[in-house]
Amino acid sequence: MPLIMGMSVLLACQFLGELVTRGWGLPVPGPVIGMVILLIGLLIWGKVPGSLRLAGEGLLRYLTLLFVPAGVGLIAHFELIGKDLWPIIFTLVVSTAVTLAVTGKMLEQLNRRRNRRVER
């Protein structure tokens, strides 16, 4: 029963995300909005319920299977990707650099905050 409850929470958040995205015409996928809704709910709750943890760990166990359709898509659209290879490479490099920079800055700020707490 806990697994069903956890999956229900995940699917409800995804559904709410789809409603928000389609209702407001946002250019963001519904599941992304659903993850934000789930994050807000978990921050308010203060902890991860056991049923949600169980469902999440079960999904993570088979995460590698979710890459199979992406690999098939790469093979099926190889020519199309080849035509736009340089913009794709540029986008990947820039997005990786931005991600690393933002992660580094956040880590720096969190370390400063932690050091201030330790000094008190």
Spell out the residues 6+ positions from residue 64 whose beta carbon is closer than 8 angstroms to its own. Answer: none
pLDDT tens-digit series, residues 86-116 = 999 999 999 999 999 999 999 999 999 888 8
* Inter-residue long-range contacts of 43-51, CB under 8 Å, 24+ positions, other chains counted: 49/5, 49/6, 49/9, 50/2, 51/2, 51/3, 51/5, 51/6, 51/9
Q: What is the pLDDT of residue 69?
A: 86
Give percent above pLDDT 90 in the chain: 64
For residue 118, what pLDDT band results from cuts at 50, 70 and 90?
Answer: confident
Look over the chain and give the mean of its residue pLDDT values, rounded to a whole number: 91
For residue 55, what pLDDT band results from cuts at 50, 70 and 90?
Answer: very high
Asked if the model's pLDDT at residue 10 lies above 80, the reply is: yes
Amino acid at 94: V
